[in-house]
Amino acid sequence: MASKLNEEAQAEFKEAFTLYDGNKDGRLELNELGNVLRWLGQNPNSVELNDIIRDYGSAGAMTLDGLYNYLGRKVVDDFDEKEMIEAFQVFDKDGKGLIGASDLRHILTNLGERLNEDQVEEMLRQAVGAGDGVIEYKGFVSNMLRK
């Protein structure tokens, strides 16, 4: 999931991780994770922190990879499905809910949070297709938000 984060975001998250890893063991305990997330602008309560560690950590603590996975997922979850569909509609020339795979590739590699070729290939493999290099973007958005 770290691949969903650009290098700048990964560097920022690593800086926060290193700053708050008090005993420098490469693992964040519950209170350290809370400090990192607050430093990153979130405000989780203790129940949420326990859930995050349960879902993304191991042995009651969070590694850097676990933090990347959690924050990469959070980035995707923060997108609203309606907003994403509206963004795709701009590229839907005939209003049929379809976008060409080449158009999607262009969008993903050139606009907004640019993805690398490997990331784009993975996303295109998971896309709901209508055949002939065309992707049904509502299904694509739903799939991406479920991951």
Residue-averaged pLDDT of the chain: 83
pTM exceeds 0.75 for this model: no
Q: What is the pLDDT of residues 84-139, one digit of tens each?
A: 788 788 888 888 988 888 888 887 787 766 778 888 888 887 776 656 788 888 88
| Residue with the larger pLDDT of the pair 124 and 77 | 124
Q: Between 1.10.260.40, 1.10.238.10, 3.30.450.20, 3.40.50.300, what CATH number should domain 2-77 receive?
A: 1.10.238.10
How far apart (Å, rounded) are the C-alpha atoms in residues 82 and 88?
Answer: 10
Which is the CATH superfamily of the domain at 81-146? EF-hand (1.10.238.10)
How far apart (Å, rounded) are the C-alpha atoms in residues 122 and 147?
Answer: 12
**Per-residue pLDDT at 1:** 47
